[in-house]
Amino acid sequence: MKFTSYISIAYLAIFLPAVILLYTILPKKVRPFVLLAASFTFFWFISEWLICYILISIVSIYLIALWLNKLKDKRNALVKEAENKEQKKAIKKKSGRNQLLVLLLGVLINIGILAVIKYSPFFFVNVNLFLKLIHSSARVSVPAFAAPIGLSFYSLQAVSYIHDVYKEKIKADKNIGRVALFMSFFPVIMEGPICRYADTAEKLWSGERLHYRNVTFGAQRIAFGILKKIVIADRLNIIVTTIFKDHEAFNYDGGLILLGAILYTIELYTEFSGTIDVVIGSGEMFGVTIPENFRQPFFAKSISEFWQRWHITLGTWFRDYIFYPVTMSKPMKKMTKNCRKKLGRDYGPLPASIIAFFCVWLCNGLWHGAGWEYIFFGMYHFALISLGSLILPLSNKLLAKLHIDRHKLPYKIFTILRTALLVCIGEMIFNSRGLHDALGMLKTLFTRFTFKSIFDGSVLSLGLDGHDIIILCVTLAIVLTVGILKERGKDPRELIASTPIFVRWPIYMLLVVYTVVFGAYGAGYIPIDPIYANF
């Protein structure tokens, strides 16, 4: 059995039900092992022997965390015995240094594997390009590695675990099974969300019995995820592929490129958030609360707010393990202090933040892929966010002068649309076939912008007919309504569940029928591969 997506018959109709069945019939003590065995089996189905990589990661963080714990216990014992403050300080300093070295060893192992597998080919290709540039005839051979599934996701989980132990947010786990399940839980292994040990590990290992409410709510969430993926994302895939693949050959104008960018952003959102719905729904069935990865991102009023609502667990990971450590480092603190004196309170903290943002966005770009277009994608967001911080005091003054209230609806709508447009351009870079292609599309967008091909009907020749467009609009309206309800603090599933059976059953049944009939699947449709599974 080879899984390519959570939204597949193999996963939804065979694997998941089989795990649920085993989990139900076996006693509580065995249940965590059922999940662990299922997770390793799932991994094996996809990556076979590459499972060794995740096993190395699991063993390494398990041992590193225990080592850190030992150092901390030793430090505490020595501090207790110390006679004066000076001694205590010296013990703490020495232990702190040792702990940091152990932590760095753990980071080196886990990020090292990630770097070698994912980035070394890119690095050596660029070394060769450089050698060519300086007219050297020397070339290095470019290595090629097969990557295990979910490498970019579980490596970050591994770092978060040892870092949290180092920071004493959590205790090192003595149970390697629990660490292994936290790292490899099958619903999150392919596309995240990036979980934290404190949030999921205990619950995963508890072996709690299945509850009717969890199972049905999980199933509903899965059904909604499937709807988003196969009715919207797979349908949009036809037109998006056409526009992105052939824009140069067919000389598409800026209007069509913009349409492609918008539709790709919707496709990416419905594909990724739809899959995450299936992931979270699967976890919910076992009573595990997997962290949310999306919070109505298109209601964001700025790029930085967008990233707090889109792929949330990646954003918070970068915040906690890159942004904070950089801004809180000694040299940065010193710099901020100096800058405050020279630049004032408004601009003083900015240089340190901008340096930290640069690190975050460089890593964010590279995390998405080893290619210059991804670095460009990261730098695009870095530029937007930095620019936003720089002009904020100015724009505040300007708005006050023009008597525009930031909190009034028209301004809010303006900022939401502005943010969405900037996001779409970013995703266009993301989906391009390379830096050259991305720059070409940007150029067309700004130099040859017309709505001609959208209004003269040629857009209908790109793979979607009128029927498709109606279904897209209706389904997007459903997704938007769900988003608005959630934005207002209401849970649509709770709302439906509170209605009588003769109301809620037809609603659920309609969801099933709608997806079966209007799904973009079968002969002639080419479903998108999970976009985030390749990262």
Partner 1 sequence: MQKKMNPTLKKWLLGIAFVMAAVAMVVLLSVFFNEKTPDTDALKDVKPYGLLAEPDDTIDVLIFGDSEAFSTFSPVQMWEEYGFSSYVVSSASQYISLTDSFVKQSLAHQKPKVVFLETNAMFRKMTADKPLESTLERIFPVFQYHNLWKNFDPANVNENEDDYFWNNALKGFKYISIVNPSKKKDYMKATGKRKPLPASNESYVESIINTCKKHGVEPVFVSAPSTVNWNYAKHNTVTDLAKKYGVKYIDLNLENAIGLDWSKDTCDRGDHVNYFGATKTTAYFGNYIKNNFELADRRNDPAYSEWNTLHEKYAEVTAGSKSKI
Q: Which residues bind partner 1 (CB under 8 A)?
A: 1-4, 8-10, 13-14, 212, 215-216, 246, 249-250, 465, 467, 501, 505, 508-509, 512-513, 516-526
- Nearest residue to 420 via CA among 268, 199, 210, 223: 268
DSSP assignment of 192-255 equals -----HHHHHHHHHS-PPP-HHHHHHHHHHHHHHHHIIIIIIHHHHHHHHHHHHHTTTTT--HH
* Cβ closest to partner 1, residue 495 vs residue 526: 526
**Residue 273 C-beta: closest distance to partner 1, Å:** 22
Residue type, 231: V
Cα–Cα distance between 413 and 397 in angstroms, integer? 20
Query: Which CB sits closer to partner 1, 13 or 25?
Result: 13
CB of 434 to partner 1, least distance (A): 16
Choice between 202 and 529, CB closer to partner 1: 529
46 vs 91, which CB is nearer to partner 1? 46
- C-alpha angle 429-483-474 in degrees, rounded to nearest 5: 85
Cα–Cα distance between 515 and 509 in angstroms, integer?
Answer: 10
How far is it, in rounded angstroms, from Cα 52 to Cα 380? 36
Token digits of residue 278: 């299936």
Q: Which of 399, 516 has the CB closer to partner 1?
A: 516
**235 or 381: whose CB is closer to partner 1?**
235
Task: State the nearest-atom distance from the C-beta of 218 to partner 1, in Å.
Answer: 12
Q: In this structure, are residues 282 and 184 in contact, taking their beta carbons and an 8 Å threshold? A: no
Cβ neighbours, 10 Å, residue 46: 19
Beta carbons of 189 and 275 less than 8 angstroms apart: no
| Shortest distance (Å) from residue 8 CB to partner 1 | 5
Report the residue number, 213 or 408, with the smaller CB distance to partner 1. 213
Question: Smallest distance from the beta carbon of 473 to partner 1, in angstroms?
Answer: 15
- Choose between 76 and 461: whose C-beta lies nearer to partner 1: 461
Q: How far is the CB of 471 from partner 1 (least distance, A)?
A: 9
Q: Is the dihedral of CA 144, 148, 154, 158 positive or negative?
A: negative
Closest CA to 382 of 337, 318, 439, 320: 318
**C-beta closer to partner 1: residue 253 or 427:** 253
Q: Residue 329 carries which DSSP code? A: S
> CB of residue 230 vs partner 1: minimum separation in angstroms?
11
- Residue 21 C-alpha from the chain's centroid: 30
User: Which tokens hold the place of 491?
Assistant: 């849970």
Residue with Cβ nearer partner 1 (22 or 82): 22
**Residue 494 per-residue DSSP state:** H
**The token pair that represents 410 in the structure block:** 């028209």
Residue 295 makes CB contacts below 8 A (sequence gap 6+) with 308, 309, 312, 486
DSSP state of 355: H
Q: How far is the CB of 224 from partner 1 (least distance, A)?
A: 15
Half-sphere exposure of 479 (CA within 13 A, CB side): 29
Instruction: Tell me the closest approach of the beta carbon of residue 512 to partner 1, in angstroms.
Output: 5
Q: Which amino acid is at 431?
A: N
How many angstroms separate the CA atoms of 471 and 482, rounded?
Answer: 17
Residue 217: CB minimum distance to partner 1, A: 11
Nearest distance in Å: CB 285, partner 1: 12
Tell me how far CA of residue 5 lies from CA of 44, 59, 251, in angstroms.
14, 27, 34
Q: How far is CA 440 from the centre of its chain?
A: 27
CB closer to partner 1 out of 315 and 530? 530
When the beta carbons of 429 and 471 are compared against partner 1, the nearer one is 471
Least spacing, CB of residue 511 vs partner 1, in Å: 10
